[in-house]
Amino acid sequence: MLATGGTIAGSSSNPASSAKYQAATVPVTALLDAVPALGAVARIEAEQLAQVDSKDMSFALWSRLVERVAFWSAQPDVSGIVITHGTDTLEETAMLLHLACVGTVPVVLTAAMRPSTSLSADGPLNLLDAVRVAADAGATAKGVLLVINQEIHAGRDVMKAHTSAVNAFVSPVSGPIGFVQDNLVRFVRTPSRLPAKAWPVPGAWPQVEIVASYAEPGRIVVDALAQAGVSGLVVAAAGNGSVHQSLVEALTDAAGAGVAVVRSSRTGAGHVAIPAPPRPAAGVFVSAGDLNPYKARVLLALALAAEPGLAKDPAALQALFTEN
């Protein structure tokens, strides 16, 4: 078990409040001690990798996480890996691990919406269910998973879609891939995509930022980012990838200057059409498919780190987004 912090490790002096608490304060040993039933499921070795509120997630912690997953996956007596994480940026870490940790040993993220001291904490059951899934033969070669609220989600597809509810996580296009009910771990389908190869995690990440299309956006943000030398931009576009005319012009200029531009949707569900409405130069604005802007940013950054020339090759970049 690799612990990184989050609300699952949060505590509060007011158990009745869902908002007044401190994330990432309880050590993983205490989280495990609170769930004696774990002893009947697995022998657990725990590493306190970090103790952060995941809103402050860093590239350095991502690298360390990938490195520790690789280390533990290679141990012959390890059947599965569970990672405790904050919910705020979990979908980004899940995307990174989906792309960077390709293997057969199950890697299962889990989290909680309520702190460990809450009147009705969801962490202990999520932790137990995550270990049940990680120890289950059915989880083998299913890619990185999230287990939360008795559901199993594919790491690539899952996103946080509620500020406070315990059922905050959804896979908007495909739904959960399985369920946990007490001892029963049930997979109902395979993940929509598994990467063919593990993407290397860069030592130095290319700068990829997110901009949004909305009424009268102006071009000031895109121009400033292009001038600052970003390698890539993900546009949280409207609807089916529609981009405001003023942004189309700014993004076309940025793309001409060598910035990779990818369109995602701000709607929260569905695929972005290829080619883009409202018809920028063919292929210039790559579609993120069904990846939301935060997940698309992770793939774009890994792709540009591996192959900087992709910024000038929208067709190849589009193929990567279609495959991954």
The residues carrying an active-site annotation are 7, 87
194-198: long-range contacts (C-beta < 8 A, 24 or more apart)?
Answer: 194/102, 194/141, 194/142, 194/143, 195/98, 195/99, 195/102, 195/143, 195/323, 195/324, 196/323, 197/102, 198/99, 198/100, 198/101, 198/102, 198/103
Q: Is 88 annotated as a binding residue?
A: yes
For the bound state, the minimum distance from the C-beta of residue 258 to ligand ASP, rounded and expressed in Å, comes to 34
Position among 113, 121, 139, 302 found at the interface with ligand ASP (CB under 6 A): 113
Q: Is 54 annotated as a binding residue?
A: yes
Listed ranges 64-72, 82-90, 139-147, 280-288: which one lies at the site for ligand ASP (CB under 6 A): 82-90
For the bound state, the minimum distance from the C-beta of residue 146 to ligand ASP, rounded and expressed in Å, comes to 12
Q: Centre a 10 Å sphere on the Cβ of residue 174 and count the other Cβ atoms it contains.
A: 17
For the bound state, the minimum distance from the C-beta of residue 52 to ligand ASP, rounded and expressed in Å, comes to 7
| Interatomic CA distance for residues 312 and 254, integer angstroms | 11
The SS3 call for residue 1 is coil
Using CB under 6 A as the binding rule, whether residue 6 contacts ligand ASP is answered as: yes
The site string for ligand ASP over 133-172 (x = CB under 6 A, - otherwise) reads ----------------------------------------
Q: Which residue is nearest to ligand ASP (CB)?
A: 86
Listed ranges 50-58, 59-67, 120-128, 266-274: which one lies at the site for ligand ASP (CB under 6 A): 50-58
Element (DSSP H or E) covering residue 62: helix 59-73
Using CB under 6 A as the binding rule, whether residue 88 contacts ligand ASP is answered as: yes
| Interatomic CA distance for residues 24 and 50, integer angstroms | 9
Q: Is 87 annotated as a binding residue?
A: yes
278 upstream amide cis, omega within 30 of 0? yes
User: For residue 43, is it left (φ>0), alpha (ψ between -120 and 50) or beta?
Assistant: beta
Contact set for ligand ASP, span 52-81 (CB under 6 A): 53-55
For the bound state, the minimum distance from the C-beta of residue 53 to ligand ASP, rounded and expressed in Å, comes to 4
Using CB under 6 A as the binding rule, whether residue 124 contacts ligand ASP is answered as: no
With 0-12 / 13-18 / 19 or more C-beta atoms within 10 angstroms meaning exposed / middle / buried, residue 279 is: exposed
For the bound state, the minimum distance from the C-beta of residue 171 to ligand ASP, rounded and expressed in Å, comes to 18
Contact positions toward ligand ASP, by CB under 6 A? 5-7, 23, 53-55, 86-88, 111, 113
